Copies of this chain bind each other. A is one copy, B any other.
Amino acid sequence: MKIAGQISIDDIPQIYPLLSRVVNPQYGESGTRVVEVAGVRFGGERPVVIAGPCAVESHEQTVGLAHAVKRAGADMLRGGAYKPRTSPHDFQGSGLEGLCILSVAREQTGLPIVTEVMDPRLVGEVAQVADMLQVGSRNMHNYTLLAEVGRAGKPILLKRGMSASLCEWLGAAEYIAKQGNLDIVLCERGIRGFPSGEYSRYVLDLNVIPAARMLTFLPIIVDPSHATGVSAMVEPASRAALEMGSHGLLIEVADFSLGEPKCDGLQAIDATTLARIVEFAYAHGVHVREHAHVA
């Protein structure tokens, strides 16, 4: 049957030639191109752990959490100043003020910052504060934004669209690469499937990790917070992701003594749990690198 829009596996390297392992044999069968963010090395010697609040809500909340994240041993701080929400009537993030708070948090802790940008006109502004720009799941297909962040001179964290095929995801990354920026880290964050909502928020798709590593030399990390949507699942999912070959983790934490977070509190973990995950990540770094290569 002839169906429009079908891509054969044989055409895939043509979709993303700049990032394809086959087209770029210098990376070999399993080599990863290290992406460095203010000294943090994605695809390097050990997995990277990024942690922080879902949204930047206040100076006290974010700076406090940054210190907790630092003490737990994580490498980078996350936190949304601009939040994509299902309804325009929900809290949309604290914007510029949030960026300033993130800046203070970095100054005080030394942790590099990754934060989401949604508006191509704000890329410059966000890039002045962020060490790494995040393109969220809902904007993975937003090619205008992808091209703009590709020109911003900063490494990019590219989350997978919630129903993106691997080919579409690599095509999205290629939009960034085409602007001359190969400093891209992929991030699996759960896909939409029939079980979504029965016992977890999304379906954590770990199979995509070795598959992506076979097809491209980019590093890939996992967001176990959104992929499960359940606090109690974040720690086992983090360990599972690392065993499957993930180069790192992106985790939401909260300080529950400050009250319920403004978004996604049910998937946030506390700093004690984070510290255990970091310990696992570091201890298993060598182990993961040795075993996760795909034949």
Contact = CB atoms under 8 A, between A and B. Distances in A.
Copies in the complex: 4
A67 B210 CA distance: 30
A206 B3 contact: no
Interface string A1-13: 1111111010000
A207 B194 contact: no
Nearest to A193: B193
Contacts of A245: 236
A3 B230 contact: yes
A200 B294 CA distance: 13
Interface stretch (A42-50, A56-64, A164-172): A164-172
10 contacts: A4-B264, A5-B226, A7-B86, A89-B178, A191-B203, A200-B211, A206-B240, A207-B237, A232-B295, A235-B291
Interface of A: 1-7, 9, 14-17, 84-89, 118-121, 138-139, 141-145, 147, 162-163, 165-168, 171, 174-175, 178, 191-201, 203-211, 214, 225-233, 235-237, 239-245, 264-267, 276, 291-292, 294-295
Given A195-B166, A203-B207, A178 B88 contact: yes
A168 B198 CA distance: 11
Task: With a 10 A CB-CB cut-off, give which of A139, A195, A291 has the most chain B CB atoms.
Answer: A195
B232 A243 contact: no
Contacts of A244: 236-237, 239-240
Nearest to A54: B4
Nearest to A173: B88
A139 to B, nearest CB: 6
Top 4 A-B pairs, shortest CB-CB distance: A138-B141, A163-B163, A199-B211, A239-B243
A52 B280 CA distance: 32
A174 B15 contact: no
Given A1-B211, A5-B201, A240-B240, 4 more contacts: A5-B267, A87-B174, A193-B193, A210-B230
Contacts of A208: 195, 199-200
B236 A292 contact: yes
Contacts of A139: 141-142
Nearest to A176: B88
Contact of A5 (B167, B168, B191, B229): B229
A178 B85 CA distance: 14
A248 B85 CA distance: 30
Given A194-B193, A239-B244, A86 B171 contact: yes
Contact of A195 (B7, B118, B207, B237): B207
A180 to B, nearest CB: 12
A85 B175 CA distance: 10
A86 B274 CA distance: 37
